Chains A and B, each alone.
Chain A
Amino acid sequence: MNRSWWTIAVAVLLTAIMLFPVYWMVNVSLTRRESIRRGELLPFDFTTEHYVVVLREQLPYLGTSLLVGLGTVLVTLLVAAPASFALAKLAVPGRRLLNFMLIVAQMVPAVVMSLGFYSIYSRIGLLNTVPGLILADSTIAVPFAVMLVTAFMTGIPRELMQAAQLDGASAWRTFRSVVLPMSRNSMITAALFAFLWAWSDFLFASTLDREGGSLRPITMGIYNYIGAQNQEWGPMMATAVVASIPAAALLVVAQKYIAAGVTAGAVKD
């Protein structure tokens, strides 16, 4: 009992240190502009006016961000999951080359990627649309997801799959009913990151969805507070706070699903 109390205390302390910059942001978002640069530990010069502004202006962007984030997760998993299975368990010709290309793909500077997309999108009419942005955002996550999920699927015991095949299951069914459930942890992890990257993307949004009106993500909503010579940090920080609440809730839920011992349990059954 005593020991677990200490554990919780340590965990909370570690979390607090890690989240101190986040606290600082909340602190600033509740401070009047006159005092934001005083560096005070608590919002002594208290105001909620930044939140009033943000709630009035930013909610549509928040919706778009959620949509883009979930869409990106979907595209990422649809491309990555079957490929990971093949790379981990089937005899893919040119597997090493493909692995190699995945690493290279992640090194292409996002700036270059966005210019390429702009050029293609302006021709096929995907500029300033949500599907266009989802596709672009998924390129941040797909190579990562393939590499991560492949690494996990490699660890699935071969006997399990052979058992399924002896039962007459096709590769597709083995994939769907044996491999997919067993890779739940890694799939959720990959989905988490796909969501987070899409959520925090600014570069693609500012190039490909600049004229999207309210169909722009929240990272573009922050633009509203960046003037030519004047930035309003109060509303910007408040936007960040408001934007992180639904996403944080989603993350906490997702974390709960990363359950322990999925592999072990399955082997035993």
Chain B
Amino acid sequence: MTTTTRVRRGLGLSIALATGLGLAACAGGSTPEPGASGNASEGSTTAEITFWDPYPQHTEGTPWDEHVKSCAPDGSTIVRTSAPQTDLLNQLTTAVKEGTAPDVVVLDNPMMPEAAAAQLLATAEQAGIATAGIDKNLMGPGVVDGVEYGVPFGSNALGLYYNADQLEKAGVDPAAITDWASLDAAIEKTVAAGGKGITFSGIAGEEGVFQFLPWFWGSGADLSDIGTPEAVSAGQLLSGWIGNDWAPRSAATDNQSAAWDLFLTGDYAFAENGSWFASAAADTDFKTGVIPIPAKDGGVAPVPTGGEFAVAPIQTTDASDHYANAAAVIACLTEGEAALTTNETLGYLHAKPEVRAEQVAANPLWEPWVAPIEGAEGRTTELGSEYVNVSASLSEALQGALNAAGDASGVETAFQDASGY
């Protein structure tokens, strides 16, 4: 008896507390019109400049870290911190909300429309960021409703790595792989010769979708409808590899790094993976090469643009000074001689064609990657901030397809179900 009254009294107290705090929370949410104020040209750089990037592997003292810090204007020091790609946007969201946003953040390109729509970013104009001369397809994700936010300083792309030793043993000529049929035939031959086939990443989420898109687009499918027969045929291709034991079943949970580790064992003839592994591929225990990902009926499939944008988060206090910081640092990283260093240290190809040509001339490793990057399509260019919804559905469809392990009706159901969302 007494207990119930006590509990009730306690609940009443906490409800009162709840309302109070709730009101306080609402009252705290009055922010001035976002993005309206501040301009880099009206501010001056400050003593400390904060810089966030998604490259935790480049620890303090590494070439990238030193390169960034060397970009501090006179009288300033750069404080650089990193977090994994998938956490960075959420951390930026929290920081903007609490007024602790950094001066510069390096953001993965498909996140740009969402970040812009949530008004987390200052426009390129406000922040004094120059975007002239950047390839249009690479700039695409950073343009939201005709307004430019930030600048892509470099790009990466997906290609099809192969184990030259295995191909030779199986009598496969990589140059003859020009469409899905010839790719399937090549995989079959290498498996017959004792190999294990192809590795790719089909993990749930954006990373797996990134790897699936070349097949999806290469089939003729379009992101505006993921339930078409073309889309299903792309799912069928990957699902069939698993069903035939031509690809590891762990592909459904492997990320790109894990898929690469499998390729490194030397057991697999092919690996769909990114240009960031180009120099690592040259150091493997076996001979490797790379070809573009073929489209279904021949030709090169468009790959999604990869790489990050350097942007200035929106600021509410001393905005102009923060933007001046951003302008100085970003200009240093993306223009002139330093731009080349930026890309070489990250293993990216520059977003401006003439600098890219310079890179290729100096390092033949990049040669096979120029065409995929120039033909790449922005994931969000067509759909803008709607893309994340479609990507989520596509991820569900892909998971279903891989689990179906070659069963045609299973793949079809997976895509139908997912397109219903």
Chain A positions within 8 Å of B, measured between CB atoms, are 33-38, 57, 93-94, 96-97, 100-101, 115, 118-119, 122, 127, 206-207, 210-211, 223-233
Contact = CB atoms under 8 A, between A and B. Distances in A.
Interface of B: 3, 6-7, 10, 50, 54-57, 59, 79, 81-85, 87, 91, 94, 97-100, 108, 156, 255-258, 260-262, 264-267, 274, 276-277, 284-285, 308
A94 to B, nearest CB: 5
B261 A57 contact: no
B57 A229 contact: no
A118 B57 contact: no
B83 A227 contact: no
B166 to A, nearest CB: 15
Contact of A37 (B3, B55, B59, B264): B264
Q: Is the interface of B mostly helix, strand, loop or mixed?
A: mixed
23 contacts: A36-B261, A37-B258, A38-B267, A57-B59, A96-B6, A119-B97, A122-B100, A210-B83, A211-B50, A223-B83, A224-B57, A225-B56, A227-B55, A227-B56, A227-B57, A228-B108, A229-B256, A229-B274, A229-B276, A230-B256, A230-B260, A230-B276, A231-B257
Nearest to B259: A37
A33 B261 contact: yes
Most chain A CB inside 10 Å of its own CB: which residue of B57, B262, B267, B276: B57
A127 B277 CA distance: 36
Contacts of A101: 10
Contacts of A223: 56, 82-84
Given A35-B264, A93-B6, A224-B56, 7 more contacts: A33-B261, A37-B265, A94-B6, A97-B6, A127-B100, A210-B81, A228-B85
Of A57, A230, A233, the most chain B CB neighbours within 10 A belong to A230
A34 B263 CA distance: 8
Nearest to A234: B261
**In the A-B complex, the 9 residue pairs with the closest CB atoms:** A227-B57, A223-B56, A231-B257, A97-B10, A122-B98, A37-B261, A211-B81, A34-B264, A228-B85
A224 B255 contact: no
Nearest to A224: B59
Contact of B87 (A118, A206, A211): A206
A174 B204 CA distance: 57
Contacts of A118: 94, 98
A36 B85 CA distance: 24
Nearest to A38: B265
A233 B260 CA distance: 12
A100 B7 CA distance: 9
A226 B6 contact: no
Given A34-B265, A224-B56, A231-B255, A211 B91 contact: no
Contacts of B276: 228-230
Specify which of A207, A227, A233 lies most central, judged by the most chain B CB atoms within 10 Å of its CB.
A227
